[in-house]
Amino acid sequence: MRSATLPIRKVLRIVEEEVGRWRQPAVTRVARINRDAFRVLISTMLSLRTKDEVTSAASRRLFALAATPQNMLRLSERQIAKTIFPVGFYRTKAANIRTVCKQLVNQFGSRVPSSIDTLITFKGVGRKTANLVVTLGYGKPGICVDTHVHRICNRWGYVRTRTPEKTEFALRRTLPRSYWTRFNSLLVAFGQNCCIPVSPHCSWCRVKPYCARVEVKKSR
């Protein structure tokens, strides 16, 4: 359900202005350097439960060794794990990366699919990752909802949902389509620098006049 009072276009114009001052999320930077769906896919897999600076460094190290599914399969699972350490769950992610690369080579001619429904059949790939591949890798409409997007949209009162997946489908019904592709990058940067999980910076946030501040018990 959407808030009837949140002027979403005005709010997102403010967020865009603010985000211009901050460093973009790691996966967004990867896509801007080279719109390669494979790099976006692997970088996003690495980013799960991992800080941006760790994701960026691990992605650079891994792509220096292998930037295609075929080349990735020339690395052992142990080599991949050692290269991406200390990303969260690095051993599991190394195994998933090899599994995904095998599937890409054997079933898709080494090309990353551009369909969300196909991507979520890959091991270790959920809707967040699939949407990010579709939007950043192919420039197609999609709404990637991670913890920042889920938290902020509910904090604003723009949606009232309990899970990121439900937030995605609520946003598909309510968010203007022109914002779909860049929505995640905007809100991740906003969530990392201003609307942080605990004690957000409400005192200098320009969105505050429009924000319902749902479940914000403490701010600064």
Average pLDDT over residues 23-51: 84
The whole-number pLDDT of residue 2 equals: 44
Please report whether residue 30 resides in a domain: no
The whole-number pLDDT of residue 32 equals: 66
Please report whether residue 157 resides in a domain: yes
Is there a single domain that holds both residue 76 and residue 121? yes
Is there a single domain that holds both residue 13 and residue 44? no
Q: Over the stretch 153-187, which tens digit does the pLDDT of each residue have?
A: 999 999 999 999 999 999 999 999 999 999 999 99
Q: Over the stretch 53-83, which tens digit does the pLDDT of each residue have?
A: 999 999 999 999 999 999 999 999 999 999 9
118 falls in which pLDDT band (50, 70, 90)? very high
Q: Please say which residue of 138, 156, 190 terminates a domain.
A: 138
The whole-number pLDDT of residue 28 equals: 77
Is there a single domain that holds both residue 133 and residue 166? no
pTM score of the predicted model: 0.85
The whole-number pLDDT of residue 150 equals: 98
- Apex CA 188: angle with CA 49 and CA 179, to 5°? 130
Q: How many domains does the chain have?
A: 2
The whole-number pLDDT of residue 24 equals: 75
Contacts of 108-117 spanning 24+ positions with Cβ under 8 A: 110/68, 110/69, 110/70, 111/37, 112/37, 112/38, 112/41, 112/137, 114/37, 114/138, 114/140, 116/142
Q: How far apart are CA 59 and CA 66, in angstroms?
A: 10
Is there a single domain that holds both residue 123 and residue 200? no
CATH code of the domain covering residue 147? 1.10.1670.10
Is there a single domain that holds both residue 118 and residue 205? no
Is there a single domain that holds both residue 123 and residue 45? yes
Is there a single domain that holds both residue 125 and residue 62? yes
Is there a single domain that holds both residue 59 and residue 126? yes
Domain that holds residue 178: 8-23+143-210
Please report whether residue 29 resides in a domain: no
The whole-number pLDDT of residue 197 equals: 95
Is there a single domain that holds both residue 114 and residue 189? no
Cis amide linkage into residue 113, ω under 30° from 0: no
The whole-number pLDDT of residue 33 equals: 66
The counts of H helices and E strands in the chain are 13, 0
Average pLDDT over residues 190-214: 96
pLDDT at 4 over 70: no
Is there a single domain that holds both residue 134 and residue 155? no
